[in-house]
Amino acid sequence: MITLFSKKQGLVVSIIAIMLGIAACASTISIPDHLSPAELIQKGQEASDRNKYKQSLQYYEAIIERYPSYIDEVCAAEYEIAFIHYKQKQYEQAKSEFYALLSRYDTPDAELLPLQFKKLTEIVLTKIEAKER
């Protein structure tokens, strides 16, 4: 009897694990085409505030894909994507993304870029480097 019960428990645990795996994969959201960059940023921030980082990343990536000429919003999205990876302790990925954002500020058009993201990026990179010591 004990062996049969343990096998049933194992089967139930396996089924639950499969269901959770399927639910995790289903976290792709449908983002309406009509959302403005500001609305996408707002929704990305709301998702991030609820620790729904996959959803948040999707909103920020939509800004980069849909509105590449909106440089302020693209810089905001790039910063937020890197910052989400920082919050998730994916430091190498975050560093790479932060350095990519900083490289925008080494171009002739740097004066057109929002300065706050450069400063915030430098602050977070300093924190990452301190953690690595």
What pLDDT does 17 receive? 43
Q: What is the DSSP string of the chain?
A: -HHHHHHHHHHHHHHHHHHHHHHHHTT--PPPTT--HHHHHHHHHHHHHTT-HHHHHHHHHHHHHH-TT-HHHHHHHHHHHHHHHHHTT-HHHHHHHHHHHHHHTTSTTGGGS-HHHHHHHHHHHHHHHHHH-
pLDDT at residue number 97: 98
Domains within the chain, CATH numbers bracketed:
31-132 (1.25.40)
Residues 60-119 pLDDT 10s: 999 999 999 999 999 999 999 999 999 999 999 999 999 999 999 999 999 999 999 999
pLDDT of 3 over the 80 cut: no
Reported as a pLDDT band with limits 50, 70 and 90, residue 28 is confident
